[in-house]
Structure 1
């Protein structure tokens, strides 16, 4: 499938914001420098006492906060019936998104959002079919309906999404200004494949199927 007009790509990359990062701040104690004593720092000299010194508990080891945002590069997609496909990195070449030749795999556009990001679209595209390979993995998108759940996995994490819209649009109409790619709103998943009528002259379909899904909670 060749579904990536250059107009569509440029604004996505410019609009994608950085992910939300939660910083864990710890306090540090400064030791006295050489030549300093209690007189120069204004701290009184301790008085000897027969009482044993108090026991100080050792500092606890810091752990990652439960509220820290998880974001990851998609490595596998799971459609509602449980069918899975490997997700590989897909780049744009001469303004065209190059999805995997193997129709059993799909491509994550490396200029789009990571799964779990607070903003932007995570864009995954794949072939609907191929002359010598038959039906592709994303042929299943032709039968998907709103309300279905799609899961992304990668780097030991997972993120679930609920399908909200399934639209067929002519390729010329699918531009960077399309609502599916609006980077000013919350995070979403966008799946792309071909549909419509096959043109023998151009060897391609005249429409794209756009499946948009919103997160079911935070990635974990």
Structure 2
């Protein structure tokens, strides 16, 4: 089964009315190649995660630079040099949430490493070519974050067989998901919902959200195979909550 070569046509996000553009890391983000993976089994360990916050893709709006005294807001004001100027309240240090390193779903063959995935040159979420690894969207929330959706995606099949993520569509509510983390205790989630989302109605605003209640989203392809598109018709999206 040939992997899709035109990711621009896959998972086209739809702009959501009222969504804050600055909160979306990638307004045009798509998932790439979940329909077919290499049959080779990866033997390399997962690479370590960077501790610093990754940059947003270039299509994300950038916050405006702060205006210095004497800028457009008004004339310059000369502060007494003997009095140091500093914020009244020091900014709080950002909390670093460890990235995921493994994923296990009870009652299935899903027991695999998780590696960071960024954004490809075509605007697609990067997913490993091999079927025995999944990717976490490293520009969004991590499992265990205070808010937002942590997204982990993987392939549904290989060129000759089904991949472990093909089991996602059949998960029952309450199924236990365990996420291993880099240098931190593992987390447990429970499935609350499994849905099919048509790719031509893909809502990236809800999947890749950074605010709201924390959830884990597991994503792969699903629905019908469309020969004319060399792609599946839908996405399978599993939503799980801590617990």
TM-score by length of 1: 0.65
Q: Secondary structure at the match of 1:129?
A: coil
Once the two structures are TM-superposed, the CA of residue 182 in structure 1 deviates from its matched residue by 4.2
> Paired residue for 2:131?
103
User: Which residue of structure 1 lines up, in the alignment, with residue 64 of structure 2?
Assistant: none
Query: 2:14, 2:127 → 1: CA distance?
Result: 18
- Retained in 2: the 8 A contact 1:6–1:96? no
Residues 141 and 210 in structure 2, CA contact (< 8 A), matched pair in contact too: no
Is 1:173 matched up with 2:201? yes
Deviations 1:133-189 (A, max 9, x none): x211211212211111101002232111111110011012221233x4443311110
Q: Does 1:5 align with 2:12?
A: yes
Describe the SS at the equivalent of 1:135.
coil
Q: Is the 8 A contact 2:134 2:153 kept in 1?
A: yes
Partner of 1:212: 239
Residue 121 of structure 1 contacts residue 188 of structure 1 at CA under 8 Å; is this kept in 2? yes
Alignment deviations for residues 193-215 of structure 1 (CA, whole Å, 9 cap, x no partner)? 01111011221101000100111
Specify the SS of the correspondent of 1:177.
helix
Q: TM-score, normalising length from structure 2?
A: 0.60
Residue 6 of structure 1 and its aligned partner are, at CA, apart by 5.9
1:18-29 matched pairs, under 5 angstroms: none
> What CA distance in whole angstroms lies between the structure 2 residues aligned with 1:170 and 1:151?
27
Within a 5 Å distance, the mapping from 1:28-67 to structure 2 comes to none
- State the structure with more CA Rg: 1
1:44-75 Cα deviation digits (max 9, x unpaired): xxxxxxxxxxxxxxxxxxxxxxxxx8831011
Match of 1:81 in 2: 107
Query: Aligned pair 1:130/2:158, yes or no?
Result: yes
3-state SS in 2 of match to 1:139: helix
Report whether the alignment pairs 1:148 with 2:155. Answer: no
Q: Does 1:118 align with 2:149?
A: no
- Uncovered stretches (5+) of structure 2, i.e. residues with no partner: 16-20, 28-52, 54-94
Alpha-carbon RMSD across the aligned residues, in angstroms, is: 2.7
Task: State the secondary structure of the residue aligned to 1:92.
Answer: coil
Partner of 1:193: 220
Distance 1:118 1:205, change over 3 A: same
Q: Identify the structure with the greater helix proportion.
A: 1
- Change beyond 3 A, Cα 1:205–1:185: same
Segments of 5+ residues of structure 1 without an aligned counterpart are 19-68
